Amino acid sequence: MCISFLGTLPLGTLNIAAMQISVSDGLRPALYFSLGTLLVEIIYVRISLVAMDWVQKHKTLFRWLEWITVLIIAALAVSNFIAAASPQTQKNVILSHTIHRFWLGVAMSAINPAQIPFWFGWSTALFTKKVLHPRNDHYNVYIAGIGLGTFLGNAVFIFGGQFIVNGLNANQSVISWIIGAVFACTAVIMAWRIIKKKNAV
Alpha helix positions (H), 58-171 = 59-85, 101-110, 115-128, 136-167
Predicted confidence band of residue 169 (pLDDT cuts 50, 70, 90): low
Lowest model confidence (mean pLDDT) among 4-18, 74-88, 161-175 = 161-175
Total residues belonging to the chain: 201
Taking CA atoms, 42 is separated from 18, 38, 105, 186, 200, in Å, by 18, 6, 13, 24, 31
Whether the per-residue pLDDT at 64 is higher than 90: the answer is: no
So what's the pLDDT on residue 168?
Answer: 56
Answer yes or no: pTM beyond 0.85. no
Other beta carbons less than 10 A from residue 131's beta carbon = 10
pLDDT tens by residue, 6-56 = 878 777 778 888 888 887 788 898 899 999 999 998 988 888 787 665 655
Q: Regarding predicted confidence, which is higher, 188 or 163?
A: 188
- The domain locations on the chain are 2-200
